[in-house]
Chains A and B, each alone.
Chain A
Amino acid sequence: MLIKELDTGTPIRTNVETVTLTIDGEQVTVPKGTSVMAASTLRGVNIPKLCATDSLESFGSCRMCMVEIEGRRGTPASCTTPAEQGMVVRTQTERLAKLRRGVMELYISDHPLDCLTCAANGDCELQDVAGEVGLREVRYGDGANHLKDVKDASNPYFTYDPAKCIVCYRCVRACEEVQGTFALTASGRGFDSRIASGPTDFLSSECVSCGACVQACPTATLIEKSVIAEGQPEHSKVTTCAYCGVGCSFKAEMRGEKLIRMVPYKQGQANEGHSCVKGRFAYGYATHKDRKTRPMIREKITDPWREVSWEEAIAHTASEFKRLQAKYGRESVGAISSSRCTNEEVFVLQKMVRAALRNNNIDTCARVCHSPTGYGLSVTLGTSAGTQDFKSVDEADVMLVIGANPTDAHPVFGSRMKKRLRQGAKLIVIDPRAIDLVRTPHVQAAHHLALMPGTNVAVVNALAHVIVTEGLLKEDYIAARCDRDAFESWARFIALEQNSPEYTEQFTGVPAAEVRAAARLYAGVKNAAIYYGLGVTEHSQGSTTVMALANLAMATGNIGHVGAGVNPLRGQNNVQGSCDMGSFPHEFPGYRHVSNDAVRSVFETRWATKLDDEPGLRIPNMFDEALDGAFKGLFVHGEDIAQSDPNTNHVSAALKNMECVVVQDLFLNETAKFAHVFLPGASFLEKDGTFTNAERRINRVRKVMTPLSGKDEWAAICELSTALGYPMSYADPSEIMDEIAALTPTFAGVSYAKLDEMGSVQWPCNEASPNGTPMMHVERFVNGAGKFMLTEYVPTSERSGPRFPLILTTGRILSQYNVGAQTRRTENSAWHAEDVLEIHPFDAEQRGILDGELVSVASRAGDVALRAKISERMQPGVVYTTFHHPGSGANVVTTDNSDWATNCPEYKVTAVEVRRTNSLSEWQQRNADEDFSLRRLEVIDAAE
């Protein structure tokens, strides 16, 4: 069955005050400020409408929703008329019927009558309303019309057919109010008014292809190409997007097992009906021809792959791992779990490592992104997680965004931020680059602190210095909620001259006055919220910056109430979850240390086996040990370390030194070039389970198609564990969640039954808060008292100098996602076909580099060639690239410097030199060769 969501036409207000009115003889009570239209819909009676939909404020242009109100003249539009106490409304009268039919007749006089062959047939509001009002004839003959207007099919995912447009402005308003891009307008006037994507076609316009306009369109004017090609879906299931940490809920609309389209789910509490180009449109990879769906093995990585049965693949892997452990010791093997996989899959993988491999060599890709968040927030605030839900930003007065680029990397939350900023909230951006938020239509940062990469700690300390020395501290809050001794020693430290904006200016490059103004702004409002991303964590002092941010929030009393908080924007769909699930070598699920006897005995009892009390290897240690010859076998689950981890040459040398590398993935990715066993993975559309987003929200993932590999990923891991000698089996993923709940206090109240009932739940969810916890640390910090930490700025050893005078920093862009394994296999490449090197005009000029030229980017680790893009987003001295395409090899250049506390790599600071070149680098040429030589498939003799 297709899930149909109620459209109340205009938003339902949240006012506590209510009004009661009579509509068609029935009494209805609604929050004050709700429209007559919405009130009527709530009682189950639709008023015909075309220009109204409840994701948008009322507009009052279509003239279909007229009603009669006692005591008022005429026929007011119900969408723009607020419900009032005692109002008596009639929605269906003879007079209204006539008026509506008349208006409809005018609409249809300029609309093609091709309903039977129209792609929206069955999902067209114009058609529905024509039926509702009883349109029977159109008396206006061959007048002027737009039926010959030309379709714009330039966007890869949807078409714009002006011939079908009724100019209701829903798309224009969706682009403004929901997405905040303002890419659509009406051109011309009067009869010539047409919706337009500015002066160009859709693809070359400002459109970011989020699809909000398509969703808002009541006709076939803006419609998915997939619906045009395949027809209307017939059933749908609610599931969770598998891209970024926003964790948007979608209806996967299907025909049989074919996905027709993804439609954001209005009841999804993370996204409330919005989406970005990736979540809505970039799912084509799931059925891409590159998918490998059979298990494969090979002796040596230079051999061709041989397809085998699941049984053989699992038996072979188990025997290899057993052989390695027998020969090189128990510690010689391990696994890396994936933040792209479900909580249940991650849980069984770490359980397999701890119980079947009998060591703690389990780490996760969070190591290379948010491990400093886990550490930094847990020592200061007491939990390894963000403090707020996304909704909280709706009440923020000031947002401080540091090292994050939400409009590209977390677009749905970025839109929500922009909405709040348009309402008047102030913005401070701390970033080496002028990210979009610094200045984008109708949004302008109050302060952009364009610091040199690597100086985050100095800048955040300087902000705190101003707060402490200018008397902007929230003394009563600190006294009531924070550890006194820790605060006092921090306050003494931060007041030192070395932390003053005037002193730090010399290396941060940020003018002291700007820092002072930003600090006063942040400390001077009721609700100030911090949002940060990998630009904070991926540094040699990543953990220190996280602690410095927590200090800043505590010092100003900005934790524990709505509109405030410290919020990591998680890069991947389940990075929060994979950390929660015990993916770290030193922690069991729920962030409890493996050396804690009480905790360990709980797991030992439940799992009926002895567990190792020594922390295992972190990812970088695994590579180092592999190069030393001590680490020999690795299970890599849904992650492409050969592309995503820093210093690619080091990683690939380590992988080549191992004897059994197992990759479970959708594709033969870069890491699989060095693998001996390939196990086919399942896309999120083929999975049942849960993802936990950046706001600790546990969302259900629901299977809409059979795994192409014929096996659930969690089941494959259970079978491997069993083959290794530790039997594991579950009837379905809900049983895994039950085990998680039984073993993890913060998840104690979580079950699939509860998730199905509530839609989603934010941990901690237990006896104390059975319905979850949208906001943390409300009355007190969970660890008792907030702990200020000393955060001394220590410059990174990676510095620019005569050989490498520029600093390279890396990041990602809207249309591509991380290593691009998925998005590169979709039409998203229309927007970003290759990685480029962004460079300031000054640096380009000095080196004689022209826009679009091939340049070599070299660091002490390696060099690659990229095309230059001259951009004033950069500051002089800083260059930038993305790492979405394996052939560009951005991580060949990055070094193995890392965070002092967590080993999170210092991706964001690499000293480089850039010069013109006319050829690809040696690594790129070798990599291109290896794309073939290490990826061969066995040719099966036709006679066999």
Chain B
Amino acid sequence: MEKPLAWDEPRAKALVDAKSGLEGPLLPILHDLQETFGYVDPRAVAIIAGALNVSRAEVFGTLSFYKDFKKQKPLGRTIKLCLAEACQARGADALAERFETKTGCKIDGGFHQGVEVETVYCLGNCALGPNALYDGELFGALTDESLAALHARAAREGVAP
């Protein structure tokens, strides 16, 4: 994954303009901003609203609906851990609890030493749960060890300059 850019208004405007002609342009624009900057800066709301001729409230409503659109610059890397029913049935809850105790990194508790672990509900790999997603890559049949290894990798990549 490329290192996200610092907030850059002309760049943001260019991203918005590039997609504002699409039908249903808001989500593609938000995705591009998220990918480019690693989050969607609050200053983007007015830019998008102006370009799409919708209200700031409407942009904000959509933006706040999706957890994947981050509100601030990430302080490290994110692991998404599935806690939906199928993964729970394969022990995801207990796995998560052991992980928290061992690392001190609280799930859905924000960044801890460069890593954040977020819950998601279903990654579509139910037969091989518990599952996690990291940097676009799916990790199935997680064990304490493989989760710890993934966490260590994220920590390494997260604090790296």
Q: Can you show 25 pairs from A to B with CB atoms below 8 A apart?
A: A182-B54, A182-B58, A183-B55, A183-B57, A185-B57, A185-B60, A187-B61, A188-B65, A189-B64, A196-B64, A198-B45, A198-B55, A198-B56, A198-B60, A199-B42, A199-B45, A199-B60, A205-B56, A205-B57, A439-B53, A441-B54, A441-B55, A441-B58, A442-B53, A443-B53
Among A187, A205, A442, contact of B54 (Cβ-Cβ < 8 Å): A442
Task: Tell me the complex Cα distance, A704–B53, Å.
Answer: 43
Besides A184-B57, A196-B61, 6 more A-B contacts (Cβ < 8 Å) are A182-B58, A187-B61, A189-B65, A196-B60, A196-B64, A198-B61
Q: Find the B residue at minimum CB distance from A182.
A: B55
Shortest B23–chain A CB gap in Å is: 15
Contact with B along A166-201 (1 / 0, CB 8 A): 000000000000000111111111000000111100
B55-A181 in contact (CB<8A):
yes
A444-B56 in contact (CB<8A):
no
Max chain A Cβ within 10 angstroms of own Cβ: one of B54, B57, B58, B65: B57
Q: Taking the complex as formed, is A312 at the interface, i.e. its CB lies under 8 A from any CB of chain B?
A: no
Q: Taking the complex as formed, is B49 at the interface, i.e. its CB lies under 8 A from any CB of chain A?
A: yes
Among B42, B45, B53, B57, contact of A196 (Cβ-Cβ < 8 Å): B57
Q: Taking the complex as formed, is A137 at the interface, i.e. its CB lies under 8 A from any CB of chain B?
A: no
Among A187, A439, A441, contact of B64 (Cβ-Cβ < 8 Å): A187
Q: Taking the complex as formed, is A206 at the interface, i.e. its CB lies under 8 A from any CB of chain B?
A: yes
A185-B53 in contact (CB<8A):
no
**Chain A residues with a Cβ closer than 8 Å to the other chain, count:** 21
Shortest A175–chain B CB gap in Å is: 8
Q: Find the B residue at minimum CB distance from A181.
A: B55
Q: Is the interface of B mostly helix, strand, loop or mixed?
A: helix
Q: Find the A residue at minimum CB distance from B67.
A: A189
Q: How many A-B residue pairs have CB under 8 A?
A: 53
Residues of B within 8 A of A440 (CB): 53
Task: Tell me the complex Cα distance, A939–B35, Å.
Answer: 73
Residues on A facing B (Cβ under 8 Å) = 181-189, 196-199, 205-206, 439-444
Task: Tell me the complex Cα distance, A442–B53, Å.
Answer: 6
Task: Tell me the complex Cα distance, A660–B74, Å.
Answer: 74
Shortest A941–chain B CB gap in Å is: 60
Residues of A within 8 A of B54 (CB): 182, 441-442
Shortest A152–chain B CB gap in Å is: 14
Task: Tell me the complex Cα distance, A440–B42, Å.
Answer: 20
Given the known interface contacts A187-B64, A199-B45, the answer about A444 and B58 at a Cβ–Cβ threshold of 8 Å is: no
B60-A187 in contact (CB<8A):
yes
A188-B53 in contact (CB<8A):
no
Contact with A along B58-97 (1 / 0, CB 8 A): 1011001100000000000000000000000000000000
B61-A441 in contact (CB<8A):
no
Max chain A Cβ within 10 angstroms of own Cβ: one of B54, B58, B61: B61
A198-B65 in contact (CB<8A):
no
Among B53, B57, B64, B65, contact of A206 (Cβ-Cβ < 8 Å): B57
Task: Tell me the complex Cα distance, A181–B57, Å.
Answer: 10
Q: Find the A residue at minimum CB distance from B61.
A: A185
Residues of B within 8 A of A185 (CB): 55, 57-58, 60-61
Residues of B within 8 A of A442 (CB): 53-54
B55-A206 in contact (CB<8A):
yes
Task: Tell me the complex Cα distance, A185–B57, Å.
Answer: 6
Task: Tell me the complex Cα distance, A212–B151, Å.
Answer: 51
Residues of A within 8 A of B55 (CB): 181-183, 185, 198, 206, 441
Residues of A within 8 A of B57 (CB): 182-185, 196-198, 205-206
